[in-house]
Chains A and B, each alone.
Chain A
């Protein structure tokens, strides 16, 4: 009998398994693997759960919320800025790529903040973004306003989140 055949798993009746490599790791390595597995699985269970504790229902990243009701909200976005005390509408399509406009429509706060900050860099005193959204059921939601005061860099959000 060959050494490999010596390692045949014996004493088990099912016919579909006859042989197993004897390549199990050393006990120390197995303990390290156990810790890694526990951490890896726990992380995968905990990270999506954090969504339900977040203040921002629109940030659905890492929460496995594919095609959620929130994802299906449809929003109209309007960016305005006050420059030398004059308010003007920013032509978004000329300023940033359409994919970023899509993120603004989805109320991605990190993108909203970055776009508002970019207007401040362009010399605006105040930059303001308005999103008017409709839910998947067709209900009009309260408009959301994000206003950045370029002096302080603070963003104030008005309007309640769903």
Chain B
């Protein structure tokens, strides 16, 4: 009787795939890297488009039920949701993920795109699915993944070389399966006549002379070259889909020669995925940071566990040093601190976090920061007042670290927005839209703000021959010129600050 006929054998095969051992470092890194990317993605990439929400009271949500129950999304609602999602993500990267925190991040991120069809990026749906799987992964601390080296009984020496720790992590398998399904369906899409004939690919690459030069260089006719490229894309995506189904088997242990062969070859299966996303980046297909998420997933899913562990060991050195020297020293101090000190620390954490958010001059930032800080505040006090087995000293260290996390997350958010062109782009887009709709006074206000946050690097002598730097400075000049023209043509205001 084979597996198809025997339900017990089927269940065994199911369990072997989903509940088999996974190197603990894989889910650990995936959670941290995805959360960090998500935080910066929301702050740097998604925030700039927030000004388009709720204009004229018009909105269509992705799901009809949301249109019935939610208020019309406004920039403050959309940006507030993103800031909250980003801050909680970064807080968990800096402290330790919690199930409640991961669920909140998944919910806020999903709501951020589902509240309006203005966000119709397919990779945002994909990230929501992956975040749901991540929420169901085991919660691990660094100490769980990188245990202290063992002391050899025979020689009394510390052995640093040990095989990677393995855990059961069906959430990680689920991420791989989701990726596989996405690549499979993307390949199916490309099997339609327009794609197979190469027309769609030709249209996509119409701005990239390199592809056309390659065609001429190879001496191939367009009728042969483009269908060939299209077929290659389909084949590549099917291979990537297969690779993700096999990826969780990499850490399986077996005497079977087939599985041992798979162990050796699986890391190479990441190469097609890497090439594909490198190609997507080169084509500048306006997919946001999708490729960066996928690069992270490729590394975590396909690289040998030992390499990942070594990378984690080296990259976490500052944290481990901090834990031993600073936290260790703190632990020596008295564990009896008056309640008022705890209250003062909590209040200070909430106040500083909210203040940093409010300084951003973006709708919803202050409220979201306050909300994030309050969520952490309540969590910290639940830990503080709980009667678990930990000593008071350990609990105090843990809650202090937890309370510090929103402050640090707010600092990261502040720096990310301060150092990038997010506010410039946000107010520039708002100004542009208001101008198109004839509200010149409000448009001018927005452009004045945009110019306040315009990239300063164009003032100094910079190499503007590089395309990104040139585009950035062109945008600044354009914004300044538009503001000047609105003022001149409509005699609205006195000379503008920041407008050359």
Contact = CB atoms under 8 A, between A and B. Distances in A.
B170 A15 contact: no
Contacts of B182: 64
Interface in B71-119: 117-118
B251 A100 contact: no
A135 B58 CA distance: 29
Interface string B120-131: 101001100100
Nearest to A5: B150
A87 interface: no
A103 B117 contact: yes
B219 interface: no
Interface string B29-55: 000000000000000000001001001
Nearest to B138: A23
A127 to B, nearest CB: 14
A118 B204 CA distance: 34
B18 A37 contact: yes
B122 A44 contact: no
Interface in B118-167: 118, 120, 122, 125-126, 129, 132, 136, 138, 162-167
Interface in B200-230: 200, 202-204
Contacts of A69: 192-195, 199-200
B470 interface: no
Interface stretch (A77-85, A108-116, A151-159): A108-116
B204 A72 contact: yes
Contacts of B433: 97-98
Contacts of A62: 125
B258 interface: no
B189 interface: yes
A37 to B, nearest CB: 6
B21 A17 contact: yes
A41 B177 contact: yes
B305 A23 contact: no
A61 B162 CA distance: 47
A21 B166 CA distance: 7
A125 to B, nearest CB: 20
B189 A65 contact: yes
B195 to A, nearest CB: 6
A114 B192 contact: no
A21 B167 contact: yes
A108 B117 contact: yes
Contacts of B203: 72, 136
B168 A44 contact: no
A99 B430 CA distance: 12
A136 B58 contact: no
A36 B170 CA distance: 11
A100 B118 contact: yes
Nearest to B259: A14
A63 B184 CA distance: 11
Nearest to A16: B163
B86 to A, nearest CB: 22
Nearest to B121: A66
Interface in A34-75: 34, 36-37, 40-41, 44-45, 48, 61-69, 72
Contacts of A137: 194, 197, 199
B203 to A, nearest CB: 5
B263 A16 contact: yes
Contacts, number: 162
A89 interface: no
Interface string B5-20: 0000001001100110
A25 B132 CA distance: 19
Given A17-B21, A68-B195, A93-B436, A34 B162 contact: no
B346 interface: no
Interface residues of B, number: 66
A140 interface: no
A88 interface: no
Given A45-B181, A61-B120, A137-B197, A12 B436 contact: no
B349 interface: no
B231 to A, nearest CB: 15
A28 to B, nearest CB: 14
A66 B122 contact: yes
B367 interface: no
A11 B74 CA distance: 61
Contacts of A98: 52, 433, 436
B251 A17 contact: yes
- Which of the listed residues A33, A44, A69 has the most CB atoms from chain B within 10 Å of its own CB? A69
Given A20-B21, A65-B185, A14 B165 contact: no
A6 interface: no
B271 interface: no
B497 interface: no
Contacts of B58: 96-97, 100, 114-115, 118
Nearest to A19: B165
Contacts of B202: 136
A47 B126 CA distance: 13
A160 interface: no
B426 to A, nearest CB: 14
A96 B52 CA distance: 9
Interface in B314-355: none
Contacts of B387: none
A20 B167 contact: yes
Q: Which of B21, B178, B181, B203 has the most CB of A within 10 A?
A: B203
Contact of A94 (B15, B126, B193, B438): B438
A67 B285 contact: yes
A96 B56 CA distance: 7
A101 B126 CA distance: 25
A147 to B, nearest CB: 19
20 contacts: A9-B21, A9-B166, A15-B163, A16-B251, A19-B166, A21-B165, A30-B19, A40-B174, A44-B178, A62-B125, A64-B181, A69-B192, A96-B58, A99-B52, A103-B120, A110-B117, A111-B117, A118-B58, A135-B194, A136-B194
